[in-house]
Amino acid sequence: MQEGIEMAERAPLSGQRVIEAAVAVADRGGLAAVSMRNVGSELGVEAMSIYHHIANKEALLDGLADWIFTRIELPVQESSWRPGMLLRAASARDILSSHPWALALIESRANPGPALMRHHNAVVGCLRRGGFPVVLASQAFSVIDAYVYGFVLTEQNLPFEASSGAADFAATIAPPPDEYPYLAELVDELTAGGNYSFAAEFDYGLGVILDELERRLAKNTSRPNLHSGEAKPPG
């Protein structure tokens, strides 16, 4: 506590410092631990001092959600759409995995901050510059995020380490081949050699999605834009 008080005396309190302290509290205790009082304790100040910089707890949670989006690497202006989507998806997965509280938070906020808006604009912009029509860009954004968020959620809840341990877990549950032949076959195939990693599946699954988006983009650009009122070609 004394160390926190000394730090508060050395650096003036600011909204950014409050958010960073809230991140530290959430990383240790989850979102349930985030309160004005606990964040004040993290900073070595009274909770009332925080209200000069953050209006209330809801604003604090909005700031936390926006902080997450500041950490996600975005496609650059010159990036083509596929490398841009790979970069952003991998970065989002890393950030969300590093802060397990973040996944539920970013989907629950009703007041998007500037970092979230920049993030979404950059992702849609990358797709639009890559030739995606507006609707297909929206669908691509949605399906990629559904995959990333779902993968992170699964990693967080596996009964074994995502990067290792699957073989030991499979040996423990050992599905009987006579009752579950296909499941037993799958487990045996994946864990043979003991080097299966669920975490390593991320790139493959994302590649499948991007392959399909590439196919749909090519199909879309090879025919007239039906949304613009042009007649559907015969056949």
- The stretch 50-54 carries a mean pLDDT of 95
Q: Does 185 fall in a domain?
A: no
**Taking a C-beta distance cutoff of 8 angstroms, is the pair 97, 156 a contact?**
yes
Q: Does 11 fall in a domain?
A: yes
What's the CA gap between 46 and 197, in Å, rounded?
Answer: 46
What's the CA gap between 65 and 112, in Å, rounded?
Answer: 8
- The stretch 161-182 carries a mean pLDDT of 76
* Total number of domains constituting the chain: 1
Q: Does 22 fall in a domain?
A: yes
Q: Does 14 fall in a domain?
A: yes
Q: Does 233 fall in a domain?
A: no
Q: Which of 145, 53, 55, 48 lies closest to 106, judged by CA?
A: 145
pLDDT at 200: 87
Q: Which of 50, 26, 24 lies closest to 37, judged by CA?
A: 50
The CATH number given to whatever domain includes residue 19 is 1.10.10.60
Q: Does 16 fall in a domain?
A: yes
Length of the chain equals 235
Question: Could you tell me the pTM of the whole model?
Answer: 0.83
Q: Which two tokens stand for residue 169?
A: 């877990």
- The stretch 181-209 carries a mean pLDDT of 87
Q: Does 97 fall in a domain?
A: no
pLDDT at 222: 75
Q: Which two tokens stand for residue 19?
A: 């958010």
Lowest-confidence region among 13-17, 24-28, 153-157, 184-188: 184-188
Q: Does 33 fall in a domain?
A: yes
pLDDT(226) > 60: no
pLDDT band of 8, cuts 50, 70, 90: very low
pLDDT at 191: 78
What's the CA gap between 87 and 81, in Å, rounded?
Answer: 10
Q: Is the dihedral of CA 143, 146, 149, 155 positive or negative?
A: negative
Q: Which residue range is the domain that position 30 belongs to?
A: 1-54
**Mean pLDDT for the chain overall:** 88
